[in-house]
Structure 1
Amino acid sequence: MTAGRLRPPVATARKGRGSASWVAGRYEQRSAIPEDDGWDGLQALQDEASAPDTVVTEEQARSIVSRNRSPDISFSQSVNPYRGCEHGCIYCFARPSHAYLDLSPGLDFETRLFAKTNAAERLRAEFARPSYVCSPIALGINTDGYQPIERRYRLTRALIEVMAEARHPFSIVTKSANVVRDLDLLAPMAADGLVTVHLSVTTLDPRLSARMEPRAAAPHARLRAMRALSEAGVPVGVLVAPVVPAITDHELEAILHAAREAGAGSAGYVLLRLPHELKTLWREWLMLHYPERAAHVMSLVQQLHGGRDYDSTFGHRMRGQGPFADLLHARFARAHRAHGFGRLPPLRCDLFTAPRPASPQGVLF
Structure 2
Amino acid sequence: MFYSGVMLPPRDPDQTLKARGADTRPEGRFETHRRVREADGWDIPEDSTLLRTEVVSETPRSIITRNTSPDISFDRSINPYRGCEHGCIYCYARPSHAYLGLSPGLDFETKITAKPDAARLLARELARPSYKPAPIALGTNTDPYQPVESRLAIMPGILRVLRDWNHPATLVTRGQTVLRDLDLWAEMAAKDQAAVGISVTTLDAELARALEPRAPTPQTRLRMIRELSRAGVPVRVMVAPVIPVLTEPEIERILTAAHEAGATTASMIPLRLPHEVAPLFRDWLERHRPGMAAHVMNRVQAMRGGRDNDPRFGSRFRGEGIEAELALKRFRLARKRLGYRDGFAPLDCSRFGPPPRSGDQLSLF
Cα deviation, 1:248-307, whole Å, max 9, x if unaligned, reads 000100000000000000000011111111111011101101111111111111111111
Moved over 6 A (4+): 362-365
Name the residue aligned to 1:140. Answer: 139
Instruction: Tell me the SS of whatever aligns to 2:346.
Output: coil
Q: Aligned pair 1:150/2:149, yes or no?
A: yes
**Distance (Å, rounded) in 1 between the aligned partners of 2:359 and 2:103:** 48
Match of 2:26 among 17, 23, 26: 23
Cα deviation, 1:108-156, whole Å, max 9, x if unaligned, reads 0000000111111110011000000100000121000000010111111
Q: For the structure 1 residues 249 and 339, does the alpha-carbon distance in structure 2 shift closer, same or farther, using more than 3 Å as the test?
A: same
Amino acid at match of 2:10: P
**Distance (Å, rounded) in 2 between the aligned partners of 1:226 and 1:322:** 32
**Distance (Å, rounded) in 2 between the aligned partners of 1:290 and 1:231:** 38
Percent identical residues: 51
Counterpart contact for 1:106–1:281, Cα < 8 Å: yes
Aligned pairs, number: 351
Amino acid at match of 1:323: I
**Distance (Å, rounded) in 1 between the aligned partners of 2:253 and 2:316:** 24
Name the residue aligned to 2:218. Answer: 219
Counterpart contact for 1:89–1:212, Cα < 8 Å: yes
Name the residue aligned to 2:68. Answer: 69
Counterpart contact for 1:203–1:219, Cα < 8 Å: yes
Instruction: Tell me the SS of whatever aligns to 1:348.
Output: coil
Name the residue aligned to 2:3. Answer: none
How far 1:33 moved relative to its partner?
1.7
Amino acid at match of 1:38: G
**Distance (Å, rounded) in 1 between the aligned partners of 2:53 and 2:147:** 10
Name the residue aligned to 2:118. Answer: 119
Counterpart contact for 1:146–1:176, Cα < 8 Å: yes
Counterpart contact for 2:18–2:51, Cα < 8 Å: no
Amino acid at match of 2:30: Y
**Distance (Å, rounded) in 2 between the aligned partners of 1:212 and 1:190:** 32
**Distance (Å, rounded) in 2 between the aligned partners of 1:9 and 1:262:** 43
**Distance (Å, rounded) in 1 between the aligned partners of 2:30 and 2:261:** 44
**Distance (Å, rounded) in 2 between the aligned partners of 1:30 and 1:121:** 39
How far 1:14 moved relative to its partner?
3.8
Instruction: Tell me the SS of whatever aligns to 1:283.
Output: helix
How far 1:40 moved relative to its partner?
4.2
Aligned pairs for 1:210-289 within 5 A: 210-289=209-288
How far 1:44 moved relative to its partner?
3.5
Gaps of at least 5 residues in structure 2 are 1-7
How far 1:204 moved relative to its partner?
0.4
Q: Aligned pair 1:173/2:176, yes or no?
A: no
Instruction: Tell me the SS of whatever aligns to 1:198.
Output: strand
TM-score after normalising by structure 1 = 0.92
Counterpart contact for 1:304–1:322, Cα < 8 Å: yes
How far 1:166 moved relative to its partner?
0.5
Q: Aligned pair 1:332/2:331, yes or no?
A: yes
Aligned pairs for 1:32-47 within 5 A: 32-41=35-44, 44=46, 47=48
Instruction: Tell me the SS of whatever aligns to 1:315.
Output: coil
How far 1:356 moved relative to its partner?
8.0
Name the residue aligned to 1:203. Answer: 202
Counterpart contact for 1:137–1:171, Cα < 8 Å: yes
**Distance (Å, rounded) in 2 between the aligned partners of 1:255 and 1:36:** 48
How far 1:344 moved relative to its partner?
2.0
Aligned pairs for 1:87-106 within 5 A: 87-106=86-105
Instruction: Tell me the SS of whatever aligns to 2:125.
Output: helix
How far 1:247 moved relative to its partner?
0.8
Name the residue aligned to 2:353. Answer: 353
Gaps of at least 5 residues in structure 1 are 1-6
Aligned pairs for 1:6-21 within 5 A: 9-10=10-11, 14-21=17-24
**Distance (Å, rounded) in 1 between the aligned partners of 2:12 and 2:242:** 25
Instruction: Tell me the SS of whatever aligns to 1:239.
Output: strand
Counterpart contact for 1:235–1:345, Cα < 8 Å: no
TM-score after normalising by structure 2 = 0.92
